[in-house]
Amino acid sequence: MAMEIQNHNSDALHKYNFIELKSWVNQLQYIDSEVDKLLNLYEQSIYIDEIPKRTLMLFSKRKATNKQLLDTVLTYSTTYKKVLECDDLQCDMVFLDEYERLRKSYQYHLGKYQKLKDSLYDKAFQKL
């Protein structure tokens, strides 16, 4: 009975995590397209033809990091489907540890991106 409850709880957790992974993919895909739109909007808001090289470099690096993280999340999502084949706690823990590491990377990336985006808005509004 205890093993059955553990498996049920574990299955529910894994289903939730898989739904969250899908959400991360959607957000990272959105960020990829948003970067180009933001730079275009910034360029138009300051009435010049050239975006400062430092700004372009920072967004270019963030976009590359975003792409790398997106690829990692997509690969892990495919692998994560195999978690339902786990039949012991040790197997579950391997998936959950990797999930937690990936979650922290995702949150760190979002925080860095949000700060970068805020700085772009601040610079654009200063020029208005």
Distance, in Å, from the CA atom of 80 to the CA atom of 55, rounded to the nearest integer, reads 36
Check: CB of residue 98 under 8 Å from CB of residue 105: no
- Tens digits of residue pLDDT in 30-79: 999 999 888 887 777 655 556 778 888 899 999 999 999 999 999 999 99
Ordered by start, the domain boundaries in the chain are 2-126
Distance, in Å, from the CA atom of 72 to the CA atom of 99, rounded to the nearest integer, reads 11
pTM over the 0.85 mark: no
CA-based nearest residue to 30, from 63, 74, 3: 63
Q: Is 128 helix (H, G, I), strand (E, B) or coil?
A: coil
CA-based nearest residue to 120, from 36, 6, 4: 36
